[in-house]
Each structure stands twice: as C-alpha cells, then as structure tokens.
C-alpha cells in the first residue's frame, strides 16, 4: 500500500521522518521541503513498513539559545556585521518583522513538508541569511520525528561537499524543539528547469543547453560519489531535491531518508534508528527495482546510480520514462515494463546515441549491469563531452571550410554556365558558317572555339577545387550533410553531361559518386523501360567490379514497355534485344526512392553497313534538325521514295546520330500501315501510348494511370458533347510544348501516305500552334499524296553508277571485278535494298566467291543464269527449296498483308506450323515482328514484300477470297476490340467478297470519327480519295 493510501496515524515516526516527494492522482510530482523553497505542504515519499509506532520523551528545553556574540563578550560595537553588496535576485530579509532567537532572527516560513518546517533566518553574528529547519508544530512531541530531524542534521552536517547543502548550526527552540540551519539557496530546482524546457520557454532553451545540463549533472554525480564514500546512500535522488543557484551552484537537498551502510560492526540505519527490513523508501519514479521490491539489504550505491539514470533520462527527454498516474502503476511498470529508450520516448530531441547508451546502462534492471559507482557514470559522460569538444573544434573547421568550398562551387557553376553559352555559340557557328564566308567571320568563330577550349580547362580546375574543398569538410566531419549534398550536386552535374555526351563510363563514375554521397537508406527506386521498336526483350545486369567482361546473372524484365520495377539502389546495365536488331546496352544508376525512365532505340543489323550512298540526304536531315534547334522553331521534312530506296536506313542512321549528340532529345517514332488510314488519330494515339509505356493488354485504369504519370503537369478536363477535336488538339500541343521546353523534339512518322484524315489535320494544327517550339517532324512515305506540305522534301531516286559501285565495295569489303559490278548495278536498278539482297543471296548461294583479294563469279555459274538474274527469280529458287508445308504457309500469309499472326495461319490451314515457321525464319524469308499487336500471339512479317506480292498474285481468286474471309473470322474471335482491329477485319471482309458484313464495321469507324469532326464534313471513307479537311478550310 502506498503512503498516500494510508492514514498518517498509521505511519511510524521513522517513516514520517522520510517525507519528501511522491505523485498525486494527476501523475504530477510535487516538491517537498528544501532549504529556501517556498512550497505548500507536500505529499510524503513512499514509505511502507509494518514496524510498530513508538513514542518517547521530548527533548530537554531547560536552556534557551545562546545570546549573540556581542552580548557574550561584552562588546556591543560588534553587533553590526560586515556589510556586503546584495546579489541579484537574492531574497531580502525583513528584520523588522523577525523574532529573536539568540543569535538568530526568525523570518517568514519558506515551506512546509510532511515532517519539517523551513523558515528564513538571519545569523546576527555572521551577518548572513540562512534557512532554519525544525519540526511542524503537531510533530514536536514525537520522539521519532525529533530523532529523525537530528539524524538528518548530523548526517548532512558531516557530508561536507560543494554540491551538498552545508549545515551551519544545530540547536533547540525556546520550547525545546530541535532545529538546524543550513545555506539558504534560491527557489530554482532542477525540476523547475526541466519543466521550463518541456514548456519550450525560449529563454530556458537558450540558457539550459545540453552541455550546461550535463555540468549540473556532474555536480550531482560528484556529490553522490562523495556521500557513497562516506557510506551514505541518498535513496531519494530526484530533480526536486537538486537546487540550482544563480551562479551555477548545484546543491543536493533532503538527506532525511538516506541509508547509512553497515560498517565497523554497526548495522545499517536511517532516521536515527536501526533500519527495518521490508521498508519501501523513495519516490516511485526514481526508485531502483530493489527499492521498489522493499529489498533493503540490496540497496547500495547502484541504487542511487539508477536514480541518477532517471535524472539523466529527464535531462535528455524532458520527461519521465513511464506515464504512470499512481504509485502502484509506477511500481508495476518499473518491475515489469522495459525502460523505453530516450530516442523513442522523445524522437524530436535528437538524443546523442552515446548518451542514450550511458543512460540505459545506468537504469539497467539488474544491479550488476549498472555502473558500479556515480563516478564511473560520470567518467563516461565526461568522455562524451571531451569527444564533443573535439567534435566542436572540427565542426568549426568544417564550417569555415564549407564556406570556402561553397564559393568554389559557385565559381564552378558560373564557369560551367559560361562554357555552356560558349559551346552553344560554337555549335551555331558550325551550323551557319560556310567555307566561303569572309576571314573576319571565320576568325571570330575560331576565337570562340579557342575560348571554349580554354574555358573547359578553367572549368575542370574549378571543379577540382570545389570537390577537394568539400572532401576536406568531410575529413573534419564525415557526416556533414551540407558537404555531402553539395558534392552530390557537383557529381550529378558531371553525370548529366556525361549522359548527354553518350559517355556511359563517365556517367557510371559520377552517378556512383553522387549515390555514395547521399545517405538515404535502402529504400528501393524504380525502373521503367521503353524501346523502339516496341517488344524488345529487356534484361537487367547488376554492374559488379569482378573483372568479368560479360555480365552474368541477368534479371529478365519481360518485353518492353516495362512497367516500373522496384530495384535496390545500385548501378546496372540494361540490355534490349530483338530479332534482326543489334543488342543495345545502357548503363543506369538507381537512387533510393527515385524513378528512372529509360528509352532504348535499337538499330537493325543491316544498319551496320555504312550509308555512303545516301550521305547527302542524311546530311540534309541533320541540317534540318540543327536549324530547328538553333532557331527554336518547328520544322518539317519529308523523305519520299519507292520501296527499297533507303527510307528506313536513313531514319536508323539519323536516330544513331541523335544518340551521339551532347544534348537531350525527345524522340518519338510511329508507323502507319494501310489499315490505319481510317483509324482516327492513330499517330497521336501511338505516340502518347509509347511515351507513357502503355503495353498491349493494359486495363483502362492502368492506361489512364500511366498517361497521368507521363504527363504530371497536364490538366484533366471532361470532354464536352459534340466534336471535341480542338480541345484534344490543344492538349496534345500543350504536351509537346512542355516537352519542347526541356529538350528538342523529333517526331518520325513512317508510312505517312497511310495517315488518317484527323492525323493529317493534327499535323497541320501543330505546324501553326507550335511554330516557336524546337520540334522536327520527319515524314517517310512513297509520296506526298496527302498534301502534307512539309518545309522540305527529299525525293530518293535510284542510285547512279558511281554510288552503286561505292555501296557494293562497302558491302563486300574488298575489290570487286568489273563484270560483277556491271551485273549488280544493272539488276538492282539503283535500288539499295535490291542491291544488298542480291549481293547477300549471291554470296550465300556461292555464286560470288572471293578469289585472292577480289570478288568474282564462281566458275560453276552458267552465264545464261546470270543474264536471267532477278530478285523474284532468286526468291523463287529459295521458295522451291523450301518444304511444301512452308510454301503453303507463305501462300496463306501473303493474304494477311505485310504482317501476320501464326495463329491466323494455323486456323486457316488447320494444323500447327511451328516447324515451318522455324524453317522460314532460318531461310530469312520471314522475320519476327518486334512487338505483336495481339497479346501472347507471335507476329511475323515478310522480309521481302516482293515475295509476298508474287505469292498473292499466284493465288487463285477463289482461294484468296476464302483466306480473307477466314482471317476476318479469326480476328473477330481473337483480336482486341480496338479501331485498328476493326479496320483490318473490314478490309479482309471486303476482299473476301463479304462487303455487306464489312459495312457495320465501316459504320462504327465512321461513328467514332463523327465524334471528332463536324456532321457536315466529308464522309469518313471518302478519304484519301477526297483530301478535303472537315476541320480546316485551307487544307485542300
């Protein structure tokens, strides 16, 4: 039972002598009596005992207090003491209201506790103010309390330490009640300080810093260590019993419940009596477990160390370890609940880890796990403070060095900006300056080039200066956040420039250095991958420094586009592979919590052959891009030509050239096939889908989320009823305008002759709306039959003899005999694709052989066979060598169009075709399409459209119609219900002689288009025979 649950009459005098501090029902501590503190009567310290109450006679009062010194020696002139200046805040003593008690003047009552009464007094002999403690009026007849007061006075009087309140005198009042005087200390207790800090009082936060609080704590530890050396255990150490003076004095009060350890054959005792077993003494929140159990025989120095640990806990957190509302709750928690770490109890306080360790050790549940002494506890804290002093010295050095380094970094960034401007001038000179320009202009351009070269050297020096400066900061303070962030920013700038230059090694170096500077834990980042063409197999390799030339243990990320994949921070290599395309690898660095978006453009294998024969056309495309960037204006260029003249190769070469540019370029490529001519806005849909990484088969909610992520600043608006074309056109223009503010844009459209009418109108709208945006629109088609009106048109014509000769020599990488050149030039008709294919087939069939250092015809080749040499003839020979099943597959595939699904053909031929597909792929007559338009169904395309047309023409009309109708039926069962599939089905139905069944599909496409165009516009299926726009009057 706790003391506040018992009637005071049931307590022993020894117990009541121990009255100090407990907790009331609200859970708040209330101070007891201490020298010089004005307080109400406090609740008693917890003292539980079953010992009987005793009474004895009162102390003798036959003699009163001694007279003053002046009276005793008969020198009245000594009555006036030495007068000194009063201290600021010193309590004034009103002598006019005081009662005389020998050499003492008794003043106002300062406070009252469970046992004692404290008054202000003045020692007339010495001329100083003191605190006088005596018994309360109702306890002066109790011998136990008398003995307790005298015990406290004598014990405290013998503890002569600077941090223990000194006892000056002991005596008896006129009625015989004992008293003792002690130093009069101010009103401020350590508890008051902690409460002010907890209340976040600004003055307290500035005054009582952690180092200052620890200095107070040092005084407490030293006083307790001294008391322990004298064999005294305080047992009630707490902030209430520690007073703080105006000049940094620390005084421990209230030694009334102290335990005197047994020594010299004497038992332990307290309050003037032999200690009784089973007594629980102390304040619950500061009791050690052995005190809380009443195991008095185990109470020793380590019990006080526990209380010191609780005080330290409060200094670190401004709160107690437990939120107990009553004494019993506190005692239960102490014995059953582990002490919460200060950093968890007060996370906002940023408790030093070392002090937390010291505090938790002092408060260990087991005595043997605590510090053996208060001195050992303080030694650890002193070591922490000494380390802090060195840390503060290094922090000051780091602060000064960081200031110097920040200036160096600012200089680097300024020089880097100046260099960027100079390099832009040099690039502009390269675009605009001609060989025939005057010498002054060429000389000025050369000087700018020299200045740029010199500025690079200055930039490198400034970078080294800034980096070395911040590294010195980290040498002083390894965890200096500002230096780490600044170094990370420096490395990030270099990684960005390395990425722009296409320098993967430099990018990995600086990106890894940046990542090493940013300590963000192990939160995973994400990687999303897009490829052009779509459908590439994407694999991931972790970059390791084991010296292996080839990466190992790949992670297969499926086929592009790859949705965001969580990855641990690190450096990786991303590989993208496609049949008939060269593998491409890109280095990436995943940072904690950050997304990484990657676009990989793959090059076909035939792109490895230099495009010397189209060098002029490629140069024109580069010039168009450079002019677009230099003038920050929209540009358009169309490349027209028959199949096989090099349109795809030009785009591939141009794409590779863009990758080599030292600037970021937003690149988008879209293909339009004949089936798309009546699919509304197919080009815009494919561009946005590819940019957002939308995969085939994605659910509508997933598509919407990806589009939002790809356009985070876009505004979402509901579509109004009726035609909403202009609203959508504006949204697309806004997207491109935002992208153009980041980097130049290249939009490449293949099959431009198959654009739908709305896509043609969109291009016209963008040409006006984005006139001041650095966007280059590249159009590739057989002709400009849609009247797209580009700024520039390049018409690809058959190669002349000279360029054909150069191309053949590059293909064969050796000298070629004249008759071989003549034959290939004649038979290819200036067509680069036919030239490459004829040469490849002749070499693979053994018709061309390398004799010494020269290519010539094989001896076994008859001249008449060479005369009849045509691509159709050679393909026919390949076809004859194929199996009957493979030929049947190709015949059925020719009806599908440029590409076909194997499932279509298996359905049409009623048998599996796996072996035939492998055979035709090996013969290079068909090739897999990078990304199937149907999820999970393999799609292929003819390598030679010549072969497809030849086979289609050879089919009987009835057979053709039957195959078309069967393909339409298969599409209805397996294809997605999108507009492209509808258009493809309608085409097959029409060619299959089932025009009536195609009409509903045409009607549905027209209905969709009607949502975009006015009702009085041209019929949707009049396109492209009727080129009139439904939106713009000035488009023919």
Q: What CATH number is associated with residue 245?
A: 1.10.510.10
Tell me the pLDDT tens digit for each residue of 482-528: 898 999 999 989 988 888 777 888 888 888 888 888 766 678 889 98
Tell me the pLDDT tens digit for each residue of 170-190: 999 888 889 999 998 878 899
In the block, tokens 């090694």 appear at 505
Query: Which tokens belong to 729?
Result: 């056109």
Tell me the pLDDT tens digit for each residue of 932-973: 777 777 888 887 777 888 889 889 999 999 999 999 999 888
- Active site members: 236
User: Mean pLDDT: which of 36-40, 938-942, 960-964, 1012-1016 is highest?
Assistant: 960-964
Q: How far apart are CA 487 and CA 518, in angstroms?
A: 9
- Tell me the mean pLDDT in the region 542-561: 70
Q: How many domains does the chain have?
A: 6
Q: How far apart are CA 823 and CA 856, in angstroms?
A: 11
- Tell me the mean pLDDT in the region 628-651: 88
Which of the residue ranges 43-47, 68-72, 488-492 would you say has the lowest mean pLDDT?
A: 43-47
Would you say residue 943 lies in a domain?
Answer: no
Distance of CA 647 to the CA centre of its chain: 44
Cβ atoms of 317 and 342 within 8 Å: the answer is yes
Q: Is the pLDDT of residue 625 over 60?
A: yes
Q: Are residues 583 and 731 in the same domain?
A: no
The CATH number of the domain holding residue 786 is 3.40.50.300
Q: How far apart are CA 438 and CA 835, in angstroms?
A: 44
Q: Are residues 597 and 667 in the same domain?
A: no
User: Mean pLDDT: which of 255-269, 461-475, 695-709, 798-812 is highest?
Assistant: 461-475
pTM of the model as a whole: 0.55
Domain range enclosing 472: 373-519
Q: Are residues 646 and 738 in the same domain?
A: yes
Query: Which tokens belong to 862?
Result: 């008859």
Would you say residue 876 lies in a domain?
Answer: no
Q: Is the pLDDT of residue 780 over 90?
A: yes
Please identify, among 795, 819, 845, the residue that sits at the C-terminal boundary of a domain: 795
What is the β-pairing status of strands 635-640 and 775-781?
Answer: parallel
Hey, which residues does 128 pair with through a beta bridge?
123
Tell me the pLDDT tens digit for each residue of 851-877: 888 888 888 776 666 776 776 777 777
Calculate what percentage of the chain has a pLDDT beyond 70: 86
Would you say residue 953 lies in a domain?
Answer: no
Please report the pLDDT score of residue 465 as a whole number: 92
Q: Are residues 767 and 817 in the same domain?
A: no
Angle (deg, nearest 10), helices 884-896 and 914-922: 90
Q: Is the pLDDT of residue 286 over 60?
A: yes
Would you say residue 366 lies in a domain?
Answer: no
Q: How far apart are CA 749 and CA 752, in angstroms?
A: 6
- Tell me the mean pLDDT in the region 209-237: 93
Distances in whole angstroms, Cα of residue 405 to Cα of each of 408, 476, 494, 519, 662:
5, 13, 17, 21, 29
Please report the pLDDT score of residue 611 as a whole number: 63
Residue 221 confidence class, pLDDT cut points 50, 70, 90: very high
Q: What SS3 state is found at 316? A: helix
Would you say residue 771 lies in a domain?
Answer: yes
Residue 25 confidence class, pLDDT cut points 50, 70, 90: very low
Q: What SS3 state is found at 227? A: helix
Q: How far apart are CA 169 and CA 122, in angstroms?
A: 12
Please identify, among 583, 602, 621, the residue that sits at the C-terminal boundary of a domain: 602
The CATH number of the domain holding residue 157 is 3.30.200.20
Q: Are residues 635 and 719 in the same domain?
A: yes
Cβ atoms of 1021 and 678 within 8 Å: the answer is yes
Longest dimension (CA), the chain: 157
DSSP assignment string, 974-1023: HS-SSHHHHHHHHHHHHHTT-HHHHHHHHHHHHHHHHTTS-TTSPPGGGT
Q: Are residues 141 and 210 in the same domain?
A: no
Q: Is the pLDDT of residue 1012 over 50?
A: yes
How many CA atoms does the CB half-sphere of 225 hold within 13 Å?
16
Cβ atoms of 394 and 477 within 8 Å: the answer is yes
Higher pLDDT, 75 or 97: 97
Q: Are residues 786 and 686 in the same domain?
A: yes
Q: Are residues 135 and 198 in the same domain?
A: no
Q: Is the pLDDT of residue 239 over 90?
A: yes
Please report the pLDDT score of residue 315 as a whole number: 96
- Mean residue pLDDT of the chain comes to 82
How many CA atoms does the CB half-sphere of 911 hold within 13 Å?
10
Please identify, among 129, 149, 183, the residue that sits at the C-terminal boundary of a domain: 183
Phi then psi dihedrals of residue 580, to 5 deg: 70, 5
Would you say residue 841 lies in a domain?
Answer: yes
Tell me the pLDDT tens digit for each residue of 674-697: 888 889 999 888 888 888 888 777
Contacts of 173 (CB under 8 A, 6+ apart): 61, 65, 101, 134, 179
Q: Name the residue among 271, 117, 120, 228 with its Cα closest to residue 183.
A: 120
Would you say residue 881 lies in a domain?
Answer: no
Please report the pLDDT score of residue 861 as a whole number: 74
Tell me the pLDDT tens digit for each residue of 898-933: 788 888 899 989 999 989 988 888 887 888 876 677
Please report the pLDDT score of residue 212 as a whole number: 92
Q: Are residues 163 and 259 in the same domain?
A: no
In the DSSP assignment, the letter for residue 164 is B
Q: Are residues 511 and 532 in the same domain?
A: no
Query: Which tokens belong to 563?
Result: 């949705």
Q: Are residues 741 and 851 in the same domain?
A: no
Would you say residue 242 lies in a domain?
Answer: yes
Query: Which tokens belong to 64?
Result: 């009163």
Per-position b or e across 600-631, b if 16+ CB within 10 A of its CB: bbbbeebbeeebebbeebbeebbebbbbbbee
Please report the pLDDT score of residue 520 as a whole number: 62
Q: Are residues 457 and 481 in the same domain?
A: yes
């Amino acid at each position: 039972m706790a003391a506040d649950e018992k009637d005071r009459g049931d307590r022993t005098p020894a117990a009541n002598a121990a009255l100090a501090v407990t907790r009331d029902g609200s859970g708040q501590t209330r101070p007891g009596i201490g020298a010089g503190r004005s307080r109400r009567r406090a609740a008693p310290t917890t003292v539980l005992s079953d010992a009987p109450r005793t009474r004895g006679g009162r102390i003798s009062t036959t003699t009163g207090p001694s007279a003053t010194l002046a009276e005793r020696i008969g020198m009245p002139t000594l009555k006036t003491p030495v007068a000194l200046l009063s201290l600021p805040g010193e309590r004034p003593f009103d002598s006019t209201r005081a009662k005389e008690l020998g050499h003492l003047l008794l003043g106002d009552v300062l406070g009252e506790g469970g046992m004692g009464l404290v008054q202000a007094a003045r020692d007339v002999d010495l001329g100083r103010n003191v605190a006088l403690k005596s018994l309360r009026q109702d306890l002066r007849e109790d011998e136990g309390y008398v003995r307790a007061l005298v015990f406290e006075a004598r014990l405290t009087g013998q503890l002569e330490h600077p941090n223990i309140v000194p006892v000056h005198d002991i005596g008896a009042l006129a009625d015989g009640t004992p008293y003792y005087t002690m130093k009069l200390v101010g009103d401020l207790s350590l508890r008051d300080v902690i409460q002010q800090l907890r209340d976040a009082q600004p003055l307290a936060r500035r005054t009582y810093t952690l180092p200052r609080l620890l200095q107070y704590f040092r005084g407490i530890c030293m006083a307790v260590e001294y008391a322990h050396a004298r064999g005294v255990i305080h047992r009630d150490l707490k902030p209430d019993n520690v007073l703080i003076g105006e000049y940094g004095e620390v005084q421990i009060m209230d030694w009334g419940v102290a335990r005197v350890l047994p020594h010299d054959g004497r038992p332990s005792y307290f309050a003037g009596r032999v200690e009784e077993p089973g007594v629980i003494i102390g304040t619950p929140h500061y009791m050690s477990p052995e005190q809380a159990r009443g195991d008095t025989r185990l109470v020793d120095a380590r019990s006080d160390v526990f209380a010191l640990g609780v005080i330290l806990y409060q200094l670190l957190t401004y709160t107690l370890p437990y939120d107990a509302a009553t004494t019993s709750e506190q005692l239960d928690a102490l014995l059953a609940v582990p002490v919460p770490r200060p950093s968890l109890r007060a996370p906002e306080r940023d408790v030093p880890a070392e002090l937390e360790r010291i505090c938790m050790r002092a408060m260990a549940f087991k005595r043997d796990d605590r510090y053996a002494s208060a001195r050992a506890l303080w030694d650890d804290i002193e070591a922490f403070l000494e380390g802090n002093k060195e840390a503060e010295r290094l922090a000051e050095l780091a602060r000064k060095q960081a200031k110097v380094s920040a200036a160096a970094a600012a200089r680097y960034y300024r020089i880097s900006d100046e260099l960027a401007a100079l390099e832009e001038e040099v690039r502009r000179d390269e675009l605009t300056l001609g060989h025939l320009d005057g010498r002054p202009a060429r000389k000025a351009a050369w000087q700018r080039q020299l200045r740029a070269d010199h500025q690079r050297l200055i930039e490198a020096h400034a970078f080294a200066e800034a980096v070395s400066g911040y590294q010195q900061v980290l040498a002083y303070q390894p965890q200096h956040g500002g230096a780490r962030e600044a170094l990370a920013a420096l490395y990030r700038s270099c990684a960005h420039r390395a990425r722009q230059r296409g320098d993967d090694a430099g990018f990995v170096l600086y990106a890894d250095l940046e990542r090493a500077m940013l300590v963000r834990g192990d939160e995973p980042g994400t990687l999303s991958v897009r490829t052009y063409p779509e459908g590439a197999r994407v694999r991931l390799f972790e970059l390791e420094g084991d010296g292996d030339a080839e990466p190992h243990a790949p992670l297969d990320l499926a086929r592009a586009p790859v949705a965001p994949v969580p990855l641990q921070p690190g450096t990786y290599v991303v590989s993208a592979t496609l049949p008939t395309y060269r593998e491409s690898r890109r280095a990436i660095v995943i940072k904690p919590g950050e997304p990484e978006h990657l676009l990989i453009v793959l090059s076909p294998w035939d792109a490895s052959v230099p495009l010397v024969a189209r060098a002029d056309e490629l140069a024109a495309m580069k010039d168009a891009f450079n002019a677009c960037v230099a003038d920050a204006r929209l540009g358009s260029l169309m490349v027209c030509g028959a199949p096989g003249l090099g349109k795809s190769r030009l785009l591939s070469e141009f794409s590779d050239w863009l990758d080599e540019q030292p600037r970021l370029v937003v690149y988008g490529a879209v293909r339009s096939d004949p089936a798309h001519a009546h699919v509304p806005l197919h080009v815009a849909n494919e561009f946005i889908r590819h940019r957002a990484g939308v995969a085939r088969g994605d659910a509508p909610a997933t598509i919407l989320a990806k589009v939002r992520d790809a356009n985070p600043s876009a505004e979402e608006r509901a579509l109004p009823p009726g035609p909403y074309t202009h609203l959508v056109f504006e949204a697309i223009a806004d997207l491109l305008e935002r992208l153009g503010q980041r980097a130049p844009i290249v939009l490449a459209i293949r099959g431009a002759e198959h654009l739908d009418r709305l896509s043609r109108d969109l291009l016209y709208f963008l040409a006006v709306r984005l006139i001041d945006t650095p966007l280059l629109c590249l159009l590739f088609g057989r002709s400009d039959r849609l009247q797209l009106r580009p700024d520039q048109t390049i018409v690809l014509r058959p190669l002349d003899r000279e360029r054909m000769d150069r191309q053949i020599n590059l293909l064969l990488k050796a000298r070629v005999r004249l008759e071989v050149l003549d034959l290939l030039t004649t038979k290819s008709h200036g067509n680069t694709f036919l030239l490459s294919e004829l040469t490849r087939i002749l070499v693979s069939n053994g018709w061309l052989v390398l004799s010494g250092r020269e290519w010539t015809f094989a001896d076994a080749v008859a001249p008449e066979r060479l005369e009849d040499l045509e691509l159709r003839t050679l393909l026919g020979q390949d076809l004859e060598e194929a199996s009957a099943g493979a030929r049947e597959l190709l015949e059925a595939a020719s009806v599908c169009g440029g590409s076909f699904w194997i499932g279509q053909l298996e359905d049409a031929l009623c048998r599996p075709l796996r072996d035939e597909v492998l055979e035709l792929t090996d013969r290079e007559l068909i090739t897999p399409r990078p990304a199937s338009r149907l999820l999970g169904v393999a799609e292929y395309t003819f390598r030679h459209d010549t072969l497809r047309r030849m086979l289609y023409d050879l089919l009987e009309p009835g057979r053709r119609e039957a195959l078309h109708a069967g393909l339409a039926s298969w599409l209805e069962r397996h294809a997605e219900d999108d507009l492209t599939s509808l258009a493809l089905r309608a085409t097959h139905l029409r060619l299959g002689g089932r025009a009536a069944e195609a009409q509903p599909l045409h009607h549905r496409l027209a209905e969709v288009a009607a949502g975009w165009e006015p009702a009085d516009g041209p019929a949707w299926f009049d396109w492209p025979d009727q080129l009139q726009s439904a939106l713009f009057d000035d488009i023919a």
